[in-house]
Every structure is written in C-alpha cells, then in structure tokens.
Chain A
Amino acid sequence: MGRVLKFIVCLLITGALFWVYQNKSGEIPPIGKFFSPVQGFWNNAESAKSFTYSSSNIVGLKQPVTVQFDDRLVPHIFAKNEADLYFMQGYITAQNRLWQMDMQTRVAGGRLAEIIGPKLLERDRESRRLGLSWGASRSHALMMANPQSRQIATSYCNGVNAWIHSLKPADYPLEYKLLDFEPESWTTMKTALLLKYMSNMLTGYETDFEMTNTAKLYGIETLNQLFPEFPDSLDPVIPKGTQFVRSDTIQPIHPDSIYPPQVALLHNPFSRPDPGYGSNNWAISGSRSASGKPILCNDPHLGLNLPSIWYEVQLHAPGINTYGASIPGAPCVISGFNENVAWGITNASTDVKDWYIVTFKDKLKLQYLMDSTWKPIRTLVEVYQVKGQGAVYDTIRFTEHGPVTYEETFNKRSETVNMALRWTAHDFSNELVAIYRLNKAENHDDYLKATNQFDCPGQNFVFAASNGDIAIRHNGKFVKRYNQQGRFLLDGTKSNTLWQGFVPDADNPHVLNPERGFVSSANQHPTDQSYPYYYTGTYDYYRNRRLNRLLSNLQNAKPADMMKIQNDNYNLCASELLPYFFALMPVADFTTTEKEAARELKNWTYVNDTDVGAAIYFQLWLDGFMEKLWDEFKVDQRALLTPSYFETWSYLKRFPDSDFIDDKSTTQTETLPFLILQSFRNAVKLAENWESENPSKPFTWANYKNTTALHLSQQLAFSISNIQTGGNEDILNATSSRKGASWRMIVSPGSDGEFWGVYPGGQSGNPGSKHYVDFIDQWAKGKYYQLLFLKPGEKHKRIQHVNQFNP
C-alpha cells in the first residue's frame, strides 16, 4: 500500500510541477517554457559577435532587396521598387521591434486585458471610450482609399507578416515569453491605430475641465489673470509683426454666452498624456552657418521608453532616398531628411479636443437634446475579450459631436453629467500620405503640399533645403473657433456651439526665409495676437525664449554649436525666479545647512548640469512654494490646474498682494515673503532627507532627477535607471525623470551635407542584444553619431552586415 501511495504522491508532485512550469500564474511566467534554454528566454540571447553576410528568400518580394546594417544596426534598405521598399521596412522593423509594435497598438486599440487580464480592463475601456479605435477605423478607410497610402501600408503590413510567420515560438521576442502570449498577424488597421496612439499622445492633453472648474470657483476675471491667453514676453513661432492674411472671410458665429455652462465642480476620470510631451526644432539659414548652407535641428521630447519610440532607417528605391527616425509600426520616416531637404516636428500644442455636455431624454439614453428637438443616439457595443474572464461588453453612445465618453457607467463617478467628445483625432485623415510626400519632397513647394495633408496631431513642421530655403509651418487641422470656444466645456444642447469649420491650410501660420535668419519652435504660441483666428492651447514659455536668444546670437555656426543648443541646460525659469525669491525672502535665523544652501543657490549660474546640487534646492523650493501658494486649487479631487511656473511668476509680479497667497488652512494671514521663507526651509529639509535616504549617491542633480528609460512592460529589469544627464522640463535639454529628447537630429541637407543624430535607446528591442541600449551613454553625454546616408552600391567601412533578400 505504501508503494502505491508513494507512487501517487510522486506522480501528483510531478504533475503539479508540470502545471506550474507550463502556465503563467500572477506575475510569474510559465517556468518551464521560460527557463528552457531551447525555447525560453535564453534563446533570445544574441551572439555578442558581429553578424556576417547572409541571404534568404522571402515570399512576397517582387525583386531582390539589399539591406545593409551599419555598426549601429541601422538598416539601409535598397529596393528596386517602392512596394519592396516598404515591405522590407516592415520586415526589418518587425525583426527588431515586434513586441513594441504589438503593445502600442494594443494600448491604442484597448486590447491589453486580452493578454494581461481584468486589471487592465478599465484602461482598455478608457482607450475605446476616447474613440481611438473608432477614429483609427475612419482614418484607415481613407488610407486604403488613396492608392499611394494603400500601397505603402499594405506592403509594410505584408513585410511585418512575412517576419511574424517565419517565427517559431522559440523565436518570439522575450516579452511574449514573459507575459505568455503570442504575436498575431499585422494589419493595415494596426498602422492606423498606431498613428492614433501618436495623436492621443500629442493632442490628448486639454484643460477644459480645469478651466471650467476654475471659472466656476473664482470667476472669469481671475481666471484670465491666472491663465492669460497671450501673456507678456511672448516669443511666438512666427515672428511678431508678421502680417497674416485671412482667406476665409466668413467669421464664426458666437452663441449668446461664450463662457462655460453652469455645472457643479467636476472630476475628470480620464488619464491624459503629459503636457510635457514637447519638442524643439529650428533651422538656421546659410547667413548664420559656417558652411553657408542651412542647418536643421529637431529633438522631439517624449516619454523615455524602451524599446525606444523611434527606429532609425534609410529607405532607398527609384524616386526615393530618405533617412531618419521612423515609428515602429508605421511606414516611412517621420523626422529626417533626403538628398534635397530636411524636416522636423514639434507638437503644435493647439487644442483640437472639446467636451460637450449632452442631455439625454431619459434613462434609456436613446435620444439627446439638440435645439429643442430630441435626436436619436447611435450606439456601438465594444467587446473586450478579457483573459481569464471572457467577453465583457461596453456600450458607447454617439451624438453628432462624437462618443459620449464621460458617462456615469465609466469609472464610478458621482456626477450625473454626460459629455461627448469632439476631437480631430476622430476625423477622416491620411497622415501617412503626408509623411510619404514629405519623404520625397524636393523643395519648399513640395513641403507645403505634403504638410497640407497632415491633420492630426498638428505639428510645427520645420524645413530646410539644400538650395538655402528655411521655413516653419504651424500645421494641422485646426478648428475655426469663435472667441473662447474650446477653452471650457461646451453646451452640447445648442447647435451654435458646434464646430463651424476649420482654418484653411493656406491660413495656417507659416514663414519662409525670415529676415532674422532662423526659424524655430518649442511648443510656444504659434503667433501673436494679430493672427486672425482664435485658438487656445497649452504652450511653453521658457524653451522658446531661451532658444531664440541663443539662435539670434549665432554666427558661423557649425553642427557642434547646434549640439550645444540641443543640450543646453540653462534654467531660464530659475534665472527669473530665483533673484525674485531672494529679493523677497525675509531675514531669519538660518541654520548652518540653510545658510550653506542659500550660498550655493546664490552662486549658482542657473545651469542644470548633472553634477550641480543647487538645482535640487531650487526645484524643491519652487515646487514647495507652488504647493503652498496654490493650495486653493486642491478641492476634493475635482479637476483643477495650478498655473504653470511662468504663469505664476507673471501673476505674482502683477498681483503681489493676491488673496491666493494666504494659506486658507491656517488662521493667520500668510504673505509672499512668508511663503518664500517657509518653502525655502522646507526645501532644505527635503534635500537633507533625500541625502540620508540615498547615502550611496552624491548630492547631484542627475542623481536626484533619476532619469529612467522605462521598458514598456514597466519592468525595471529591462529599464535603465539613473541615467547621468542634466536638463529638466522648461529647459532646452528637456530631460526630466521620465521624459526627454527622444531623438536628436542635426542635419545640413544636400549631397555634401552633414548628418548627425542620436536617441536614448538602441535599434534592437531585444534586451538580449548588444544593440538594446547602446546609444544611451552617448545620448546622456550630449554626443552624436554621424549618420550614414549611403548611396546605392556604396561600400562603407561602417557597414557590418549585408543581407540580400530574394523573391
């Protein structure tokens, strides 16, 4: 009997082990599959040695394609026709970034719960309620209706699938093994979704709830004092004094009240992309450069992710030869150059996303009120295949505005308000064809025609050509607004609050070869107040002023000077605020540490370099001060927004006795000097705390900031923390703890041009590759790589691996 029992126990233990080894439980991957050196993660370890020449056959190609990989694993794709070119771009991109492409489209399409489980269901519902996949399906229809974009997207898609279908489970990227799911076939719809992912990242931020709540709490007059629409010392994208022509003579009609409808203070349950997703770009004309040729620079500031958001590529086929940063999952080059021209992008930051308060007839929500009539609701049932739970359904209702995103069925809010979303990201648009034409542009005219097609996300497109032209254009599909439209929540029961059209492309702010010899943008206002259309947005007030100051002093500039500007750590905010703080700070009985901190701050040259300690004191001081000053803006989780650093400073200069200065939680009346002193002392204390919590780390700005390139799975194991780099938000080197220059490019276009670039990551998305994060050190140090812009057939010594693909 003992033997049988022993056998059964052994068998059960082996069986139980098998189950654990084969299935994912919680965060733990299936142990057997994961650790098996043959099929598990070990198989993702790439040889640290170099590649050699190889050749293979791929079904789907029309003619042979040569792909040369350089020492940085940048593919230089030489095809004999465009279909093969985008096919190979898809194939090679998937080879390096498949999991990332998959995940990002799952984020946009609200399909994370399928692979992760119920804990991500609310996030998926949010994506779909925001209408990202609905918008993608509309744009996808347009993309497939245009023969150019259809060919590009389809070829790219076929290339991605050729790679996916060549994989055995053992070859899947590591993350699939860790999360235990399988790649699925790529579709052109996924490319459309990915473009919406970018649209959301760049136009998803708006402040309608916050402005409405602030107006309700403190009135319109105070709101305008706190958040002036055109503050002093504006340095817009299009130089002040430029004459604007308005070709559209029909003015938008104002409703009776342009101010927000009366509602209770509202929550905003939606996560929004960071407003700090900004960027810099500029071009200097030959009059300012040493070579006499224009130089164009671009550094888009996005989340610092791994795998990196960008993938470098050179695309060559008859009629096209372009190089630059592409987005894995989308064909073409987004920020780059060709033989004749270069272009770069910064976010337009202009608001194209409005909320309309709608009134349903009854609880059935089948009709909504519009100008005293009840109109029918259209419904869409979204299905979520939740892992381990089965299908979950969510009904999304649509009014003529768009999806009723804000509804009590979402996120358990207490309000009974329903709000529909009107957003240009939902509209039919074909950005792919715009980018494609930009890739092939030969001159300024081509650039204008190409960017005309680019609707959302609106961008400041900077341009430079080898013939000497430089230009910038604040471009996108912008709403023809009446005064104040879109700054607040809108009354969705009135047809006169609807959008009344769009700014004609020709009227989008644009300048070609301005007298000052440079064009630039850093997410600031596109224009001064003389621009004949009303617009609203969230704009930068520091980087642009610093940038224009540096550019206007440039003479005989070389790429190296441009590198210095992209890595400039000068803290303009500190240079303005710190003297003001010290002037107002009362004399007190300071401790030794406080005296030492004050001395360090007074000696500080306002540069947020890696090894500077004073920058920590300043940041803590400023943030503490802001918190005390704007305590009125913390009301029971209601959506409220404190003025930015710049808005705060300009407000305090005008209203030094403002009632906001008083801390309402105390009985005494606080003054500005008191707040400054209090927050200074607190900052010194916090700095001391940081030092005692981090005994092994020197007290430096870089250590305090802890810049981290985070893996998309949020796994720290595959992330790089404490990157030693300076800068911060509102500084040209806009590298904060989780965001920063996601791609730095400096280009002087032309056949004898100069091309430099770097990004915080590496070409491979595989944590087991030596090319996973190989650029990060160089990037952190503000150094660049010379980009290889190869001619067909050119044999360069930096080419390490030539791959020949045959049909």
Chain B
Amino acid sequence: MSTNSIRKRRAWFWYRMLICIVVSATIQLVAPWWSLIPMAMLIGYFTAPMNKSPFLAGFLALFILWAGWAFWIDVENNSILSERVIRLFPLPHNALSLILLTGFLGGLINGMAMLTGDIFRRFFLPEEEKYYR
C-alpha cells in the first residue's frame, strides 16, 4: 500500500470521528440519547472504507462529546452536583472521575455501534478489500 493511502486512512479516522461528534451532538439536542446509536451505525456504514479502528473512532467521538459536555456543565456548576453524584459510584470522589465515567460510558456504546455499522458495510465490499488486513 502506498504511503499516500496510509495517510488517507489515518485522516479518515479523524474525519469519521469529527462527523460523529457533530452529528451526534446535533441529534441529541432534539432526540433521546439513544439516537446516537443509529447515527454511529450509519456513520460506520457510510464513511471510512479503509479505516482499521471503527470502534476507537466511535469511542473517542462520544467520549469527547459527553465528557466535554459534562466538563462544561461542571464548570458552570462549580462541581456542586458532580461531587455528590460521584459518591453513588465506587470511584474516586471527585468531579473528574464522573466526567471521565460519563465519557467512557458514552464512548463504549457509540464505539460498538460504529463497529457494527462498519462490519455491516463490509458485506458489500469487493473480495480484495475484505482482506486488506
């Protein structure tokens, strides 16, 4: 494979992640939280024909989105809420753990959804592309 196509593949990882962040953020403002699942599946299906890590792209997208969103809320709130809610969980009792947990949980399901969409796409790819690994 050419250097150019490797670079392209890497770039697609970031494009796909950014697309996911934008789409997911928009849809969640108007639809329930789970709307992120079909969105990630669709993005997994339609983008990044050569991307190797669909799970990671999906995970990072929602991790950044949810953790970032939570962080912004937490700053506005002076961590009043987060320092109480985190005590529900067996984690270090600080706002940061709750923000990271929020990002992780969002990332987990989004990564799986994108992976699912990505695999589904491969059913329709020509034979040689299926075995690029």
Contact = CB atoms under 8 A, between A and B. Distances in A.
Interface residues of B, number: 38
A18 B78 contact: no
Interface in B78-112: 78, 80-82, 84-88, 101-102, 105-106, 108-109, 112
Given A11-B116, A21-B34, A42 B87 contact: no
A36 B28 contact: yes
Contacts of B73: 37, 42-43, 45
Interface stretch (A82-90, A159-167, A222-230, A765-773): A765-773
B37 A18 contact: yes
Nearest to A718: B84
Contacts of B13: none
B70 interface: yes
Given A36-B28, A42-B69, A14 B109 contact: yes
Given A22-B34, A47-B77, A48-B78, A35 B116 contact: no
Interface stretch (A2-10, A349-357, A569-577): A2-10
A44 B109 contact: no
Given A45-B73, A47-B77, A7 B66 contact: no
B113 interface: yes
A17 B108 contact: yes
B116 A32 contact: no
A649 B2 CA distance: 96
A13 B112 contact: yes
Contacts of B32: 33, 39
A716 B102 CA distance: 21
A14 B119 CA distance: 13
Nearest to A771: B80
A738 to B, nearest CB: 19
Provide the main secondary structure of the chain B interface: helix
Interface string B54-82: 00000000000010011001101110111
A44 B33 contact: no
B84 A7 contact: no
A32 B109 contact: yes
A48 B70 contact: no
B132 interface: no
A743 interface: no
Contacts of A14: 37, 41, 109, 112-113, 115-116
B119 A7 contact: yes
Interface string A766-784: 0111101000000000000
19 contacts: A7-B116, A7-B120, A13-B112, A14-B109, A17-B108, A17-B109, A18-B34, A21-B34, A21-B109, A32-B34, A35-B102, A36-B33, A36-B106, A37-B73, A37-B102, A42-B70, A42-B81, A46-B77, A46-B80
The 6 closest A-B pairs by CB, nearest first: A768-B81, A717-B87, A36-B33, A37-B69, A45-B77, A48-B78
Interface of A: 3, 6-7, 10-11, 13-14, 17-18, 21-22, 31-33, 35-49, 174, 178, 715-718, 767-770, 772
